[in-house]
A and B are shown apart, each in its own frame.
Chain A
Amino acid sequence: MLFQIDRDSFLDGLTKTVPISEKRTPLPILSHILMNVDESHLVLTATDLEVGLKITSEAAVQEPGMLAVPSKKLYEIVRELLPGQVTVKSTETQRILIESGESVFELAGMDATDYPAWTTGKEVETAQVQASRLLYMIDKTMFAASTDDSRFNLNGILFEKEGEEHIKLVATDGHRLALIHGELGIRPVSNVIVPRKGLAELKRLLESLKGEISLGFEEKNLFVSTDRLMMTVRLIDGDFPDYRKVIPEPSDTIVRVPHSQFTHTLRRVAILTSDRNKGVNIKVSSGKMELKTTHPDLGTARDVMDVEYSGEEFLVIVNAAYLIEAVGVIDTDSVSIEFREEGAPVILRPIPSKDYFNLVMPMRK
């Protein structure tokens, strides 16, 4: 293996792949990046067996070849090199030589054939999707997914077919739920759950891309690709709970609040919540909303804001952090909050209404 590559394009490839490989792993090979050089390209591959990413860069190749190289060290080296051409060369002894100007590095690598093979999704049907659209749908739901690794079926977003054309993304941790539906141009073969871990990588990738990507689903994998990169995310098998049962009929008890004021008020009173007292007491009366929190050791907070409401007075306790996150994903200036009888969910929607909403279960003392 011998090739020259522009330092910046080399670094760009590594910046995207290294985070995936870097995780601590019992398999040493997974902390390596696979370098695969063909006639005119360098292909960098990283995987943690949950997520895989391949990035292709142009290179002036004298001699094709393959080698697995310690990813973090490689990244650190390339990051510190001066801009310009870098010469990369493998040795007989599975070492790699990196030369740039007067700098020479030699790193011990591992046999490329030990690198885990993974699905490339070549035969899968794909659709062109705006990266920002997929990102938007993930952002509106991911926050509600469970972070408890033991609830693996709640540990991600459900991608579900809806009607003939639509797709629905749903996430819940058992206390709250977020849902968005719409068109993506493609739908999974059956309903699938994309795990949190994969979503995080996917999100990061989507954030770095502009324009369209191709999106495809296989029974066990999700694929996202552009002309120079390709990501595979392994899907979870597992039953997603029947969320439909918990989404109630619309309620008449609707309070309209200004988005930013509500967020700020919540943040203020949330200062005096604690591990064991996460709730904010919300009292709504005609035109007013009072928010109160109590920290058992430190004290209390109280705040009042004007809201649009004209029904009877009522009281509800909601986890302040959940509420902040729920409002946080709403992207309109006004938010509608629907309340119901005790023990029933509180629903938050954008005003004007859009293709998403989320709900939070109340708390009790």
Chain B
Amino acid sequence: MAGRIRVLDEKVINRIAAGEVVERPVSVMKELVENSIDAEATSIRLEIENGGKKLIRVRDNGTGMSHDDAFQALERHATSKLKTELDLVGIATMGFRGEALASIASVSRLTLMTREEADPAGTVITVEGGTIRSADRKGMAVGSMVEVRNLFFNVPVRRKFLKATATEAGHVHEAVTRFALAFPGVGFTYIEDGKLKMDAPAVGSTYERIYTLFSKDVRENLVEVNHSAHEGSLKGYVAKPPYARSNMRSVLTFVNGRSVKDRLINSAVTRGFANLMERGRYPFAILFIELPPDKVDVNVHPQKAEVRFVNPKQIYDLILDGVYDALTGAPYRVPGGTRREYGLPRSPTDSLSRHLSREDPEEAPRSDPGHSASPSSLPQDAATQQATAGGDVPAPATIPGHAADVTHAPRLGHQTGPFSSLGIVGRIPGSFVILHNDEELIVMDQHAAHERILFDDLVRSERRGEHLESQDLLIPQVIEFSVVEARALARHLGVLHTAGFRIEEFGEKDFVVKGVPSWFNKDDVEGLLSELVDVMLDTGVRGDPGRLREELLKSVACRTAVKESENMHAEEIRTLLKTLDRKGSPEVCPHGRPLMAKFPFAEIRRKLGRR
């Protein structure tokens, strides 16, 4: 296989954005791992010491190099991947700079050990500060090992800029994680100062990889993202709020398989989580964006983390819609489980794109026709029947607002979602709903839950340019405002129309309410309107039309949702839970507050002095 590496055409070199290839240990490690992946390795073992400042070692079971190629690889501008300038445009492989090994070798003590299949023995070359110190032949398994010691030993200025060991190691760890996610078919072992930090065997899907990499609390909250628009597609997983992180580092994004940290992408992801996250909390997201190579330029930054899109707006929308729909849209997929959907046929789930997740039978939706009952054919639950049928005690005229005798076990059915599978214990008079599952006692804020559902509906119809159903009033209601208020209100009647309020101007200061949303069973249109006018006049949001509309819809949802003090019958609680499932709602209200507080029985038992 000699001669696979070609020396780059001068023009190509110039096209490559100028800049340093090697900046810090993590950049070295990335170059080396990319080489291993390019060499079709299925197992990569990474080791660092002192945050990589002392040692970076990458060993793979890839194709390896011939004796000649090993030498050439250490020369500047040697690469086997590009021939001409044209290749750069439609770039599809990971590495493209053709100078990494040589650059690294010039600023460290580098040992390359490599053997290709055809070669009976491997080649060992040691380079120090760019000069070859020794070369030898040695028996070894097929594959390569690159060891980089004392990075920047000969460039004190750079060495001085290296951060604390923990910081550098943190960067390396994050980068390994990103690689591991992008290449589930490759096994990764990562060792820091002799301690095993990651041991991720090769698996068939990104989801399985996530399963090995992240803790249970992350896994339990994941929902699948699967969205396409124009020529692009977005796949991956996001964690449903209230699950959140304290920084953006858990937003891991990839474009055409390449890990990127891009501002446009990050802001689209953040936006997709808007109204689901409390301030100062950040999403967990693993997202793979696939685009035709001519629609994206990954060659912008030498660190290769930033990208330039031909059509940024489309990408922004693709990500925003994909994330938002996954979090709030119904139905959505719970990873590795059945779809939260009733009655409708399951559409085949595309697994993540092939080169990311090497086709996987597990990833395909588990068709389970026996359990795809429609809600109307669901057996009515026993507790409800009991509650409605009544015993032979003369039924009271109104069911008292206390935790009626509705306690029953959580429903096991596969056809129910995570919310409807909860058991209803009852309701604290004038306050929250109490639920439970096998492990926890759960207090649900029914107001927040209802608000969530209403808000998502409102946003969805707003985005689709639809109007929610409006019920005409028998006697239209005339409401008066101040001149300033009236002007603000007049400007935003459209948003209210979206929500199902049919309000018309009626003279300079008066408005006549002709219709209200059909679900609006409160009577206080006037109170709601004056609250909305307050929002309209709020200087904080006035300048931002998008945010203003959102705030208005939030107020509508908040005002129209059931109150904490309102009496809810078992059947209504049941419906609320079912709707949460159907809508695939995240467990937070539009203000980002959780819908539920959970108290593990284990903790309760402990408090009760039980073991």
Contact = CB atoms under 8 A, between A and B. Distances in A.
A79 B470 CA distance: 50
A76 B392 CA distance: 10
Contact of A276 (B397, B429, B457): B457
Contact of A148 (B395, B400, B522, B583): B522
A23 B582 contact: no
Given A176-B474, A277-B469, A297-B582, A343 B514 contact: yes
Interface in A170-192: 172, 174-177
B330 A363 contact: no
Interface in B185-239: none
B518 A197 contact: no
B475 A24 contact: no
Contacts of B400: 22-24
10 contacts: A19-B395, A176-B474, A275-B519, A359-B474, A361-B474, A362-B472, A363-B471, A364-B515, A365-B469, A365-B470
A297 B578 CA distance: 12
B394 A297 contact: no
B523 A319 contact: no
Contacts of B502: 364
Nearest to A242: B475
Interface string A57-69: 0000000000000
A361 B472 contact: yes
Interface residues of A, number: 50
A175 B522 contact: no
A271 interface: yes
Given A22-B396, A201-B397, A319-B518, 12 more contacts: A16-B394, A24-B401, A75-B393, A174-B474, A175-B473, A200-B397, A243-B474, A279-B469, A345-B474, A363-B469, A363-B471, A365-B467
Given A19-B395, A23-B398, A276-B468, A150 B522 contact: yes
Given A175-B473, A175-B474, A246-B475, A279 B518 contact: yes
A278 interface: yes
Contact of A271 (B376, B469, B519): B376
Given A24-B401, A245-B475, A298 B343 contact: yes
A76 B393 CA distance: 8
B402 A275 contact: no
Closest 3 CB pairs of A and B: A24-B400, A361-B472, A200-B397
Given A150-B524, A241-B475, A276-B519, A364 B397 contact: no
B473 A174 contact: yes
Interface residues of B, number: 44
Interface of B: 330-331, 342-344, 374-376, 392-398, 400-402, 429, 457, 466-475, 502, 514-515, 517-519, 521-524, 575, 579, 582-583
A133 interface: no
Contact of B397 (A23, A75, A363): A23
A336 to B, nearest CB: 20
Interface in A133-169: 146-148, 150-151
Nearest to A75: B393
A348 to B, nearest CB: 14
A267 interface: no
The listed residue with most A CB atoms (<10 A of its CB), out of B343, B375, B469, B474, is: B474
A15 interface: yes
A319 B518 CA distance: 8
A172 B475 CA distance: 10
Nearest to A361: B472
Nearest to A275: B519
Contacts of B330: 297
Contacts of B398: 23, 197, 200
Contact of B396 (A19, A275, A297, A361): A19
A18 interface: yes
A246 to B, nearest CB: 5
Contact of A363 (B394, B396, B470, B522): B470
B471 A298 contact: no
A354 interface: no
Contacts of B402: 24
Contacts of A299: 343-344
A175 B394 contact: no
A204 interface: yes
A298 B374 contact: yes
Interface in A36-82: 72, 75-76, 79
B518 A363 contact: yes
A277 B466 CA distance: 13
A23 B524 CA distance: 28
